[in-house]
Amino acid sequence: MSDPRAQILGSLRRALGREAPAADIAAGLERRLAEHPANLVPRRTDLPGAALIDLFVRMAEAVSTTVDRVPDAAAVPASVAEYLARHNLPTEIVMAPDPALDAIPWDSRPLLAITRGRAQGDDAASLTGAFAGIAETGTLMLLSGPGHPTTLNFLPDTHVVVLRASQVVGPYEEAWRRLRARADGGMPRTVNLVTGPSRTGDIELKIQLGAHGPRRLHIVLIDDAPRP
């Protein structure tokens, strides 16, 4: 079995122009992993601070994400409560056990019933932070870990995300660069890139929201970035 396999792989290497010695190929792969060469970066992301935030909001709203911009963290509880009420949702919400979220003054809205931990199948709404917002496509970068169980991203029908304007980057490349530069180092087990609510067009070619995850994605954007 090894000879036919070697012939097939040899043919593929020749077709791809990769007939270098194995040691050279391995060295090239190691160098690429260490240097992280950037891929194509759209010019539309080359914007100053305020314009970049505006681009992120436009791109997010274009894929059915709703965005509420608030001036500071103190305004977040009211924004979340008003969003739930506007959609006739219960005030119970399961929140990521994230210290950054715990610092928000939730007691200013005592009718919000917040539990912390993983989402269950019967949870109607979840609330998490995000590692980054990517203006290139209006995408959220969500990292798994003790402070962000991945079930919160997918099980509840409504997902509310608290994001700071200072976490918004232009292209995907910048989001990955920030992730690699994290102080704690290493990569999380899961990186979810979420662009709008879950959707499918498999049924009669009609877009259906909530196919494989939340049917609503709402971002509370804290305006903490300095404007140029």
Per-residue pLDDT for the chain (228 aa), expressed as one digit of tens each? 468 888 888 888 788 877 777 777 778 778 877 787 788 889 999 999 899 999 999 999 999 999 999 999 999 999 999 999 999 999 999 999 999 999 999 999 999 999 999 999 899 999 999 999 999 999 999 999 999 999 999 999 999 999 999 999 999 999 999 998 887 767 899 999 999 997 666 666 666 665 667 899 999 999 987 665
Question: What's the chain's average pLDDT?
Answer: 89
Is 227 within a domain?
no
Q: How far apart are CA 97 and CA 84, in angstroms?
A: 20
Is 228 within a domain?
no
Same domain, 68 and 98: yes
Q: How many domains is the chain built from? A: 2
Is 216 within a domain?
yes
Tell me, what CATH number does 118's domain have?
A: 3.40.50.10420
Alpha helices, DSSP H, located in 66-205:
76-86, 99-102, 151-154, 172-180
Q: Each residue of 183-192: pLDDT tens digit?
A: 776 789 999 9
Is 210 within a domain?
yes
Same domain, 178 and 70: yes
Same domain, 62 and 166: yes
Tokens 């049917």 sit at which residue? 215
Which residue type does 79 have? Answer: S
For residues 216 and 66, the answer to whether their CB atoms sit within 8 Å is yes
Q: Each residue of 127-172: pLDDT tens digit?
A: 999 999 999 999 999 999 999 999 999 999 999 999 999 999 999 9
Tokens 């399961």 sit at which residue? 94
Is 188 within a domain?
yes
Give the structural domain span for 67.
Answer: 44-222
Same domain, 10 and 61: no
